[in-house]
Amino acid sequence: MKKLPMPILLRSLSQLLFFLAFIVLFLRTDYQGQDELFGAVNLIFRIDPLVALAATLATRTFIALLLPALFVLLASLLLGRWFCGWVCPMGTLLDWSHPLLGRHNKPLPPALPRLRYLLLLLILVGALFGLPLVGFFDPFAILVRGLSMAVYPAFALAVEGLFTITYQHGPGWLNALSEPLYQALRASVLPFQQKVFTLALAAAAMLLTLFLLELIQRRFFCRNLCPLGALLGLAARCAPWRIANAQKTCSACGHCSTLCRTGAINEQSQVNPERCVLCLDCLSRCPQQNFRFGHLQNPPTPIAEGLSRRAFVGTALTGITVPFLFAIRPFKKQPNPKLIRPPGALAEAEFLGRCVRCGECMQVCIGNAIHPAFTEAGIEGLFTPRVIPRIGYCEYLCTLCGQVCPTGAIKRLPVEEKKTVVIGRAYIDRNRCLPFAQGVPCLVCEEHCPTPQKAIQYREATVLNNRGQTMTVKQPYVIGDRCIGCGICENKCPLPGRSAILVTSAGESRREVSQWQDGYG
């Protein structure tokens, strides 16, 4: 193996360390044995200036949670897009995938990289006018969503499957080896419980797309699409520390411009700081050692990469007008009853503005209750968190989702307050509920109801069962004022298929509209 030059070694080491830190934080996004999580497991989103800017514009409030993002932005004002080359876990993964996917450099329209500025503009203008888009293009959102909803659960299933086979069918000597390994994996990298997610395939496909784009061009996403990279690139315009070519001795061999992973070096060997991620390849690989990193007293005029006036105005107008089209759909007036938001979620408009669709809440949810929404909240609500009680219920004393939400779209709730937050209310489907429909005892819903004074009560009734026998059974009913919509009843209902007790978002605390204002009439 050839020896790596020192600058590249340092950069690779930094990428590795930050990636490991990212994975450790990801794995620690889980119940840790106490009500409160230890450590900022959502740090990756809190240092994201794009998320910070979009959420701030959308809510027009200062979000203290996102303060760390300012440091990344300030650092980029000094050093340019170092974050993309040295820290970003998405960029690291794309770099690592490069040897697997092979070298491709297809000729592409030279205007393509401007797409990222269009996206950035659309995201920011959209955020201001009520069209939340940041979650669909932010690299960390795509990465964490893909990991938490698809890659990690699938990985867990594969490992569990393997050790189930060795445990149930393997000989003793094999188990003597495999069981300690399995327990060690359980204690370190495997999730406590196997999870499932409604949009697992969509999240996986989106993440996979980023890797497939590498087949067209190296760091295709970072060059052409990444709105975060675009934002940091804007900051890089005035960065005094940067890489530059000592033009005098350059023979314009063109080696650097084909080498550069982000296409930041042009034919004349000029470095575009808006694209340069400071990977330092050119520093080490230039045959004449012409590149230097350092403080430039008089930065040369940057290679202009702005948008045309027409593109700027067009994109801004799109960002301004589309939100009004979105606002005239019925569920903006009357919420979808199936859209149950996690406890502590803000009122819908503000919630959508803040939510990054990052999947942190879904990763941390110990009940596997929170799932990515499909169209329940409109297409702009794709991947936003939604509680599906039949798959998983909201644990009565758990407050983890509010603790990991990086933007405060889900409020952090003290346990005492969480107990009183209503996310929906249950109702009984008497056509299916056994004591009503068949005269058969059941009452599993009442057994599990967690409110100290049970929201599900029962009364004895004498009914005819399916065989015409007279039976005295206990029939459940819901006391609406006590019900908080946690959904454990719907989850534990022993009927096959659809539950006989169902939760809808009716009565949720976060809706400010009082009941007398409800409806269209």
Partner 1 sequence: MDRRRFLQQAAIWSFSVPLVAHWPFSLPFSIDSVHAASEDTLRVKVGISKGKDYARLVRQSVGLVGGMSAFVKPGMNVVIKPNIAFDRSPEQAANTHPLVVRALAEMALEAGAAQVRIFDRTCNEPRRCYINSGIQPAIEAMANSKVRCEHIDNRKFVDTTIPQGRVLKRWEIYRDALEADCYINVPVAKHHGLARLTLGLKNSMGVLGGNRGRLHQRLDQNLADLATVIRPQLTVIDATRMLLRNGPSGGRLQDVRIENTVLASADPVAADACATLLFGRDPDQVGSTVAAAAMGLGTLQLNRIQRIEG
Q: Give the residue among 51, 209, 61 at the shortest CA–CA distance from 120.
A: 51
Alpha helix positions (H), 60-151: 68-79, 82-86, 89-101, 115-129, 134-137, 139-146
Instruction: Please say which residue, 179 or 305, places its beta carbon nearer to partner 1.
Output: 179
For the CB of residue 358, give the shortest distance to partner 1 in the complex, in Å: 23
Q: What's the one-letter identity of residue 115?
A: L
Instruction: Please say which residue, 168 or 249, places its beta carbon nearer to partner 1.
Output: 168
Owner of token pair 């960029």: 91
Candidate list 398, 428, 484, 500; residue touching partner 1; CB under 8 A: 398
Candidate list 163, 197, 221, 351; residue touching partner 1; CB under 8 A: 163
Whether 277 contacts 82, CB under 8 Å:
yes
Q: How far apart are CA 43 and CA 328, in angstroms?
A: 36
- Footprint on residues 403-442 left by partner 1 (CB under 8 A): 434, 440-442
Instruction: Please say which residue, 202 or 493, places its beta carbon nearer to partner 1.
Output: 493
145 binds partner 1 (CB under 8 A): no
311 binds partner 1 (CB under 8 A): no
For the CB of residue 375, give the shortest distance to partner 1 in the complex, in Å: 30
For the CB of residue 395, give the shortest distance to partner 1 in the complex, in Å: 5
Instruction: Please say which residue, 116 or 195, places its beta carbon nearer to partner 1.
Output: 195
492 binds partner 1 (CB under 8 A): yes
Angle at CA 508, nearest 5°, toward 506 and 509? 155
Instruction: Please say which residue, 160 or 305, places its beta carbon nearer to partner 1.
Output: 160
192 binds partner 1 (CB under 8 A): yes
Candidate list 274, 395, 490, 508; residue touching partner 1; CB under 8 A: 395
Beta bridge partners of 460: 474
Candidate list 46, 357, 454, 510; residue touching partner 1; CB under 8 A: 454
Owner of token pair 């932005």: 73
Owner of token pair 């758990």: 398
DSSP conformation class of 341: P
Candidate list 83, 140, 396, 436; residue touching partner 1; CB under 8 A: 396
For the CB of residue 447, give the shortest distance to partner 1 in the complex, in Å: 6
Instruction: Please say which residue, 398 or 426, places its beta carbon nearer to partner 1.
Output: 398
Counts for the chain of helices (H) and strands (E), in that order: 24, 8
Return the SS3 of 417. Answer: helix
Instruction: Please say which residue, 49 or 439, places its beta carbon nearer to partner 1.
Output: 439
Task: Tabulate helix, strand, coil % of the chain (nearest 5).
Answer: 45, 10, 45
Q: How far apart are CA 279 and CA 87, in angstroms?
A: 11
Return the SS3 of 92. Answer: helix
For the CB of residue 468, give the shortest distance to partner 1 in the complex, in Å: 18
For the CB of residue 163, give the shortest distance to partner 1 in the complex, in Å: 8
Q: Which residues contact 445 (CB under 8 A, 6 or more apart)?
A: 426, 428, 456, 476, 489, 490, 492, 493, 501
Whether 26 contacts 37, CB under 8 Å:
no
x-marked contacts with partner 1 along 267-296 as a string, rule CB under 8 A: ------------------------------
Return the SS3 of 190. Answer: coil
For the CB of residue 273, give the shortest distance to partner 1 in the complex, in Å: 49
Q: How far apart are CA 73 and CA 234, in angstroms?
A: 10
Q: How far apart are CA 325 and CA 222, in angstroms?
A: 31
For the CB of residue 157, give the shortest distance to partner 1 in the complex, in Å: 12
Q: What are phi and psi of 215, to 5 degrees?
A: -70, -25
Instruction: Please say which residue, 266 or 438, places its beta carbon nearer to partner 1.
Output: 438
Instruction: Please say which residue, 138 or 395, places its beta carbon nearer to partner 1.
Output: 395
For the CB of residue 397, give the shortest distance to partner 1 in the complex, in Å: 6
Q: What is the largest CA-CA distance in the chain?
A: 101
33 binds partner 1 (CB under 8 A): yes
Which of the stretches 5-13, 148-156, 391-399, 511-519 binds partner 1 when contact is defined by CB under 8 A?
A: 391-399
Candidate list 292, 412, 448, 511; residue touching partner 1; CB under 8 A: 448
Instruction: Please say which residue, 56 or 491, places its beta carbon nearer to partner 1.
Output: 491
Size of site (CB under 8 A) for partner 1: 34
Whether 455 contacts 479, CB under 8 Å:
yes
Give residue 479's Cα distance to chain centre.
36
443 binds partner 1 (CB under 8 A): yes
Whether 443 contacts 476, CB under 8 Å:
yes
Q: How far apart are CA 184 and CA 215, in angstroms?
A: 37
Candidate list 397, 461, 464, 513; residue touching partner 1; CB under 8 A: 397
For the CB of residue 437, give the shortest distance to partner 1 in the complex, in Å: 12
2 vs 7, 23, 99, 100, 258, CA distance in Å?
Answer: 15, 29, 15, 19, 20
Radius of gyration of the chain (CA): 27
Instruction: Please say which residue, 345 or 493, places its beta carbon nearer to partner 1.
Output: 493
- Footprint on residues 168-187 left by partner 1 (CB under 8 A): 168
Instruction: Please say which residue, 192 or 324, places its beta carbon nearer to partner 1.
Output: 192
Candidate list 225, 364, 449, 502; residue touching partner 1; CB under 8 A: 449
Instruction: Please say which residue, 287 or 468, places its beta carbon nearer to partner 1.
Output: 468
Chain contacts with partner 1 (rule: CB under 8 A): 31, 33-34, 163-164, 167-168, 192, 366-367, 395-398, 434, 440-444, 446-454, 458, 474, 492-494
